[in-house]
Amino acid sequence: MTLPTLPARGEQCPPAVELERVATGEDVPAVAAHLPTCETCRAYVEQLQAETQAFMKARPAERFVTQLQRRKPSRTPFVVLGVALAAALALLVVLPREQSPVLFKGSLLSISLKRGDVVSTLREGDTLREGDALRFSVKTERPGNAVVLNRDGRGKVTVVAPFNATSAQVVKEGTTVLEDSAVLDATKGRETFVAVFSEKSLEVAPLVGQLEAGQSVTCAGCVVDVASFDKP
Ligand SMILES: [Zn+2]
């Protein structure tokens, strides 16, 4: 799913990320007050909602869990993640694009959470629990390649989006929801997610190695965004 392109908007319009939060069902009072006054933002939110609903309808979490239980080979769309106690600060820093003209530092990754029937955007300090289904979006100002890794509390590293990918997913500029998602298992601890973007093609194996070794994930010309969450 590729999200609709953000339309040109006025100076008083809220940041795109706030519109996305509203589209996922969050209550953002400033946006709620703005929408009735702004046709452009309202249309964008409606478009986002329609896309999200269509996506969730087409790929309900339950279906992926079922597929997983059947142990289908290779590309199981959902991954059951173990505990994560990997350190790293919880950060899901989402800055309006206008504030980061250099590159997309700090605004690369956003994670949407489906818990029961409710879809929301994960934020710093949120906690995760068993059964949570996560989808990963990247927002970039240039086309390139993106991948998301997970490290659990045992230090086990899984490529979660696209699942088991050996090379990163090609993305256009703008916001792209990456292929596949993850459903969390019952293990408690800390879950760490690392998103990596590169304008050039990206080999995933070295990144997995770095994360397994407990190192920071780096690569030449890459943008890296880390988010971690407690799972009490
Ligand atoms: Zn507006």
**Which tens digits make up the pLDDT trace of 113-135?**
989 888 888 888 899 998 899 99
State in Å: Cα 205 to ligand 1 middle. 42
Task: In whole angstroms, give the CA distance from residue 30 to residue 18.
Answer: 9
Average the pLDDT over each of 4-13, 14-23, 84-93 and give the range with the smallest value: 84-93
Cα-to-centroid distance, 170 and ligand 1 (Å): 30
Is the pLDDT score of 72 beyond 60? no
Residue 47: which of 84, 22, 13, 71 has the closest Cα? Answer: 22
Domain boundaries, the chain: 16-58, 72-231
Query: Would the pTM of this model clear 0.75, i.e. be above it?
Result: no
Distance 47 CA to ligand 1 centre (A): 14
* Distance, C-alpha 173 to centroid of its chain: 15
User: How far, in Å, is the centroid of ligand 1 from the Cα of 42?
Assistant: 7
* Distance in angstroms between the alpha carbons of the first and the last residue of the chain: 31
Tens digit of pLDDT for each residue in 84-93? 222 222 223 3
Q: Is the peptide bond before 96 cis (omega within 30 degrees of 0)?
A: no
Kindly give the distance from the C-alpha atom of residue 20 to the centroid of ligand 1, in angstroms, as a whole number.
Answer: 13
Mean pLDDT value across the chain? 76
pLDDT at 5: 72
Query: How close is the Cα of 94 to the center of ligand 1, in Å?
Result: 19
Tell me which CATH code domain 72-231 carries.
2.60.40.2550
Mean pLDDT along residues 202-206: 94
Higher pLDDT: 86 or 39? It is 39
Q: How far is the CA of 40 from the centre of ligand 1 (A)?
A: 6
